[in-house]
Chains A and B, each alone.
Chain A
Amino acid sequence: MSGKEFFTKRYSELGWKFGPVELKQAIRINTASTSEAGLLQRLRTRGIELEPISFAPHGYWVRKSAFSVGATAEYLLGYYSIQEAAAQIPATLLTELRNKVVLDACAAPGGKTVQLADLMHNTGVIIALDVEKRRLTALSNHLERCHIKNTVVYQKDARRASDLKIKFDRILLDVPCSGNFAADKEWFRRRTIEDVRRNAVLQREILAEAVKILKDDGEIVYSTCTLEPEENELNIDWAIEHLSLQTEPVECYGKPAPTGVFGKQLEDSIANCRRIWPELTQGFFICKLKKREGER
């Protein structure tokens, strides 16, 4: 089961009519390293036209640029990162980050790690994990470019994070997922429902590991860039039932996630999650979780 017709029919059942999407490039300013107003002025002088992203603090759409925004001295000095607009949301949902011990469980290539460090003003500790060495090199380069000082990187599968014997205040689970057609023109040709199901299993294993290492009053933000409910609402419904987690209300861009998926009724609190259909951004799913009260 695959193909454009198969998947778009599913989206239609979830209440969204498929349409082509042209993604706009976005950047996020690393405010711990530079003055936002000063940087905007410098980029304007270079002929780069930016427009604030209403739902992403320090995020800007690139309206016009005569050259790549990844080829300026300001970029190389680490003053901003090129980061898709929806991908800028998850890290901002973790609260009171300064001086906390934070896990970025699937960190490469490091856009969200750098954002976390920026939100933490380089205080506390970030433990950043990823499996593939080549991706870790990209992550480390990103950290060096942005002058991040509070992060330790390990080559480690997120499903083995408890080996580190650390309890975390905050955990970002931007889990490996099936992706979406807006970010990958070949997506419908490449993906099958089997891929989706395989990823969903992996994501559940990562969620289960995260619960083991989360402090009792800690927060998890779970996100994917896929539209497939098996990796989103159905996984969170499973986590509520099997991992004693509860969803938390969030205020961010996106629509409340559906509580009925392909005929299955889910927990009402799934509506606390946000589903972002491709329009201004790529497809995305975001959910904030805590240990259930009374079971902490």
Chain B
Amino acid sequence: MKQITDFISRFGTSLKLDESLIIEKQGRFYLLSSKLKGSISEGFFYAGAYLGKTRHGVFFPSFSLLAMIAARKEANKVTVNERSEWLFVVGRDLFKQGILKANGSTREGTYTLVVNQHEESLGFGRIVRSLDGRGDKQRIAVRNVSDIGDFLRREKRYG
């Protein structure tokens, strides 16, 4: 649980998650409803809302968790234009010129969610060049860490 809350705090926000409804299986965390919790038995493969997994001590969030964080007003997030939206989804980094708006911390080194103009979470990245000021618009500003294009990559692997 601490890994999840620590991860969320890196976006300058927090989420109220009912710990009693979170279950862990083989390093994967799932958030259940109380009805689901009453029906689940050992040996399940997947359950409820998948929150993410830990591997070698590092937490990898699910896209459901990222969407939950993105819904928080104060969370670090950058809003991108349509062209950058698709480039980000196919795994590319963000140039400053594709960023329409930045919310929360814009400091170099911080994590930020990447959302489109509908405020929908596309993934997250790390700010590698401060988003303040006029800086070079042609250089990478946010390094892609994870994007929803991952679903397509998984479909190729698993069908």
Name A residues whose Cβ lies closer than 8 Å to a Cβ of B.
Answer: 70-71, 73, 76-77, 101, 109, 124-125, 127, 133-141, 143-145, 147, 149-155, 164-166
State which of A139, A150, A165 has its C-beta within 8 Å of the C-beta of B33: A150
**A79 nearest in chain B by CB position:** B120
Shortest Cβ distance from residue B131 to the other chain A in the assembled complex, whole angstroms: 22
Q: B49 an interface residue at 8 Å Cβ cutoff?
A: yes
Known contacts A73-B120, A152-B39; decide if A141 and B154 are in contact (CB<8 Å). Answer: yes
Q: How far is the CA of A133 from the CA of B86 in the complex (A)?
A: 31
Q: Which residue of chain B has its CB nearest to the CB of A165?
A: B41
Is the CB of B148 closer than 8 A to any CB of chain A?
yes
Q: Which residues in window 61-105 of B have CB below 8 A to A?
A: 62-64, 67, 85-86, 89
Complex partner residue of B120 from A77, A101, A125, A140, CB under 8 angstroms: A77
Within B114-159, which residues are at the interface with A (CB < 8 Å)?
Answer: 116, 120, 122, 148-149, 151-152, 154-155, 158-159
Q: Are A76 and B36 in contact (CB under 8 A)?
A: no
Do B44 and A154 touch (CB < 8 A)? yes
Whether the pair A70, B49 counts as a contact (CB closer than 8 A) is no
B7 interfacial contact with A, CB 8 Å:
no
Once the chains bind, are A73 and B67 in contact (CB under 8 Å)? no
Q: A71, A109, A154: which contacts B43 (Cβ < 8 A)?
A: A154
List A contacts of B1 (CB < 8 A): none
Q: Is A76 a contact of B152 with CB atoms below 8 Å? A: yes
Q: Which residues of A contact B47 (CB under 8 A)?
A: 151-153
Name which residue of chain B comes closest to A163, CB basis.
Answer: B41
Query: In the assembled complex, how far is the CB of residue A32 from the closest CB belonging to chain B, in whole angstroms?
Result: 13
Residues on B with C-beta less than 8 A from A125 are 35-36, 39
Is the CB of B59 closer than 8 A to any CB of chain A?
A: no
Decide: A140 and B48 in contact? CB cutoff 8 A.
no
* Contact A138 B35, beta carbon cutoff 8 Å: no
**Residues on B facing A (Cβ under 8 Å):** 31, 33, 35-36, 39-41, 43-50, 62-64, 67, 85-86, 89, 116, 120, 122, 148-149, 151-152, 154-155, 158-159
Asked whether B41 lies within 8 Å of A164 as measured between CB atoms, the reply is yes
Cα A136 to Cα B154 in complex, Å, equals: 12
A sample of 9 more A-B contacts (CB under 8 A), given A73-B148, A127-B39, is A73-B89, A133-B45, A143-B50, A145-B151, A149-B31, A150-B36, A152-B46, A153-B45, A153-B46
> Given contacts A141-B154, A147-B64, A147-B67, is CB(A109)–CB(B46) below 8 Å?
no
Q: Taking A144-B64, A145-B63, A145-B151 as contacts, is the C-beta distance between A73 and B46 under 8 angstroms? A: no
Do the beta carbons of B149 and A144 come within 8 Å of each other?
no
A68 to B47 alpha-carbon distance, docked (Å): 30
Complex Cα–Cα for A134 and B35 (A): 28
Contact partner, A147, options B41, B49, B116, B149, Cβ 8 Å: B49
Bound CA–CA A144/B158 (angstroms): 14
Chain A residue numbers with a CB within 8 Å of B86 are 73
Q: Chain B nearest CB: distance from A153 CB in Å?
A: 4
* B124 CB, min distance to chain A CBs, angstroms: 15
Chain A residue at minimum C-beta to C-beta distance from B31: A149
**Interface contact A136-B45, CB-CB below 8 Å:** yes
Output the residue of A77, A153, A155 with the most chain B CB within 10 A. Answer: A77
A151 to B35, CA, bound (A): 11
CA distance A154 to B47 in the complex (A): 9
Q: Which residues of B contact A149 (CB under 8 A)?
A: 31, 33, 36, 48-49
B37 CB to closest chain A CB, in angstroms?
10
* Contact present for B155 and A138 (CB under 8 Å): yes
- Residues from chain B with Cβ under 8 Å of A153 in the complex: 44-47
Contacts of B148 in A (CB 8 A): 73, 76-77, 145
B89 touches A76 (CB 8 A): yes
Give every chain A residue within 8 A of B122 (Cβ-Cβ).
73
Residues of B within 8 A of A124 (CB): 35
B157 to chain A, nearest CB (A): 8
Q: Which residue of the partner chain A has the closest CB to B150?
A: A76
Q: How many angstroms between the C-alpha atoms of A66 and B47 in the bound complex?
A: 36
- Cα A137 to Cα B46 in complex, Å, equals 9
Cβ of B62: which chain A residues have Cβ within 8 Å of it?
144
Q: How far, in Å, is B100 (CB) from chain A's closest CB?
A: 15
